[in-house]
Structure 1
Amino acid sequence: MIKYGVIGTNFITDWLIEAGKEVNDFQLAAVYSRTKQRGEEFAEKHNAPHVFTNLEEMAKSPMIDAVYIASPTAFHAEQAILFLNHGKHVLCEKPIASHNQEVAEMVRTAENNQVILMEAVKNTALPNFQQLRTAIDKIGPVRRMVTSYCQYSSRYDAFKEGKVLNAFDPTFSNGALMDIGLYCVYPIIDLFGKPDSIKASGVKLSSGVDGEGTLLLAYPDMEAVAMYSKITQSHFPSEIQGEKGTIVIDHIQKLEKINIHYLDGQVEKISLPQNNADMSYELQVFHEKISGKNESSQINSLETSLQTANVMTEARDQLDVVFPADESRMK
């Protein structure tokens, strides 16, 4: 069994714990909360035997083997490094950190302590993303990939009324690119690697974060476009366009329905049923990395996380979206 501590008592942590019930060697051992009352309430809800209100004590505890971090992004690097230095494996919610230098430091710390660090990006861990990966050769040389995730935020109405909630607060390293744009950028980097150049455009909100944006990533023989928004809604699919056909993806976050449309008019369905909880697949990948069962797997690799962080950091610089956390890289 892998004994987990969790940081964050929100709905995302609820989802992770529920997904853990579908993974044989997952065991919830401890909950961290800044307040004892909230920690005890969350622990009781999920039958966790231990509650911590001090992160250092939790990191030192022999009662956990791994930690799942679902705190605001601004805290990810500091918290992850603390646990990595105490020999704990770290599954860190996306985005893994505020900027590329933090990610690089986290990777170095994991390597120095010989423990596993993984970014919890769920769409690239799904079975249908692996189906997608193996199907690319069928459409010939790829010339364009377009990803789209535009979802009107339930918190945007409050923002327009003058209330800045966490989702639009730069203090927590938030905004559209960080929150949902990553679901568009990460798969592109996973499939095609580091781009030669990046061009970013978008709408910057009064709080200082981006509300929506578009990234154009240039490669030697193709280009990729990532479109994302928290202030508009879209039903536009994502595509990978090749010279022999086009792969059409219903939703880049979920990848439930994927078809290849060939030039001769034939359509091939390549998606499979994904009956388990979405987050159970990333948990399984994380556990395989810990056990060393699949050392050659590139699913949610640290290289992809680093390259994605490089792209997103440069994009924010072009958009002039600055977080307090950026002070550490600008010194």
Structure 2
Amino acid sequence: MTLKLGTIGTNWITQMFVEAAHITGEYALSAVYSRHSDSGAAFADKFETEATVYTDLNEFFNSGIDVVYIASPNGLHFAQAAEALKAGVEVIVEKSAFDNTKQYEAIYTLMRENNVHVFEAARHIQQANFKAIAKKIGEMEHISGATFVYEKYSSRFDAYLAGENPNVLNREFSAGALADLGVYPLYAAIALFGMPKSSHYFATLLNNDTDGRGTAILRYADFDVTLIFGKGANSYLQSEILGYRDTIIIDNIAELEEVIYDDGQGSRTVISTPAPANPMVEEARLFAAIINEPVANEARYNELLLTSQRVNAVLTNLRKDAGVVFPSDPA
């Protein structure tokens, strides 16, 4: 069944997802929500579609769409996803999906009550090069630790330096380095190694008490995984997974363009394949398969859901550890 797709958000990542969805042949853009009709119409015009533009969320969710892709500011995800679930609409929500475990539990309840799915869009863990990393880990004799790095200068950091308080650098909108960029290396760690025994976050705060960069440490039984991320600088450090002598070297834990296995004895092998032009195709294809054939894909969905829940729990704990509070956090 071709899924009628609705979108919330008119930025670059929404455009990338719609293009990926169309590449799969499993979706057709049917509805676009925007607070402003002009921006919604401009977004819809980028595609050969007769999608209807809505400025009212209730009308949007009751327009006959099968699935919604939510790429609004983080702080809006929960309310929009909840409204979608109540309308019986399948939900794909950008990471970080929800602010804390309390929100996740409420969404989980709504999902079960309305017999629909919730997917967190973590595109990198569905890519072929990520699966190559997982396969190689399974072949290694021992894991000694890992370091994952994702630090990029935000397009809005100049505005922050000029005295403004942009949404993407404002904890009042559930934003910050951990929620926006740290979630990439965190997702990779949990997808590869499971739930850590403990987690700790050393955050560097901006003058608005939002975390601008930081280092998180995930403690496992036999090793640690260090996550380094930030929005106020550019880092070109590679990410690594350490064995004894051998090492997996990753150019970028979010983009995954090149992955190398070094055996520690003078031999290096490229285990990656050329990165896809659109990195969201595989996740879009997987989500459609689960929606259209839920029984056959139940195990795959449960694995996705468990990983998402674990990521949410660790994100919640990391912020608590660093004293970074969102408005939606329990008192």
1:15 partnered with 2:33 = no
Counterpart of 1:59?
61
Counterpart of 2:252?
251
CA shift in 2, pair 1:60/1:100, >3 Å:
same
Task: Give the fraction of aligned pairs with identical amino acids, expressed as a percent.
Answer: 35
Instruction: Determine if contact 1:125/1:300 at 8 Å carries over to the other structure.
Output: no
Counterpart of 2:151?
150
SS at match of 1:115: coil
Write the distance in 2 (CA, Å) between the matches of 1:154 and 1:276: 22
TM-superposed CA distance for 1:252, in Å, is 0.4
Write the distance in 2 (CA, Å) between the matches of 1:257 and 1:274: 8
Over aligned residue pairs, what C-alpha RMSD do you find?
1.6
Instruction: Determine if contact 2:149/2:227 at 8 Å carries over to the other structure.
Output: yes
Deviates more, 1:265-274 or 1:77-86: 265-274
Counterpart of 2:322?
319
- How many residues matched? 327
Write the distance in 1 (CA, Å) between the matches of 2:51 and 2:233: 42
Counterpart of 2:218?
217
TM-superposed CA distance for 1:29, in Å, is 0.2
Instruction: Determine if contact 1:155/1:165 at 8 Å carries over to the other structure.
Output: yes
Write the distance in 1 (CA, Å) between the matches of 2:210 and 2:290: 34
Gaps of 5+ in 1: none
Deviates more, 1:298-307 or 1:204-213: 298-307
Counterpart of 1:174?
175
Write the distance in 1 (CA, Å) between the matches of 2:165 and 2:303: 32
SS at match of 2:24: coil
Write the distance in 2 (CA, Å) between the matches of 1:102 and 1:237: 34
Instruction: Determine if contact 2:125/2:188 at 8 Å carries over to the other structure.
Output: yes
Amino acid at match of 1:49: A
Compute the TM-score of the two structures, normalised by the length of structure 1: 0.94
Instruction: Determine if contact 2:256/2:275 at 8 Å carries over to the other structure.
Output: no
TM-superposed CA distance for 1:105, in Å, is 1.8
CA shift in 2, pair 1:28/1:241, >3 Å:
same
Instruction: Determine if contact 2:68/2:91 at 8 Å carries over to the other structure.
Output: yes
Structure 2 matches for 1:17-56, cutoff 5 A? 17-46=18-47, 47-56=49-58
TM-superposed CA distance for 1:143, in Å, is 1.8
Gaps of 5+ in 2: none
Instruction: Determine if contact 1:60/1:86 at 8 Å carries over to the other structure.
Output: yes
Counterpart of 2:236?
235
Instruction: Determine if contact 2:290/2:301 at 8 Å carries over to the other structure.
Output: no
Write the distance in 2 (CA, Å) between the matches of 1:65 and 1:276: 26
TM-superposed CA distance for 1:295, in Å, is 3.3
Amino acid at match of 2:98: A
Write the distance in 2 (CA, Å) between the matches of 1:298 and 1:246: 31
Write the distance in 2 (CA, Å) between the matches of 1:205 and 1:300: 36
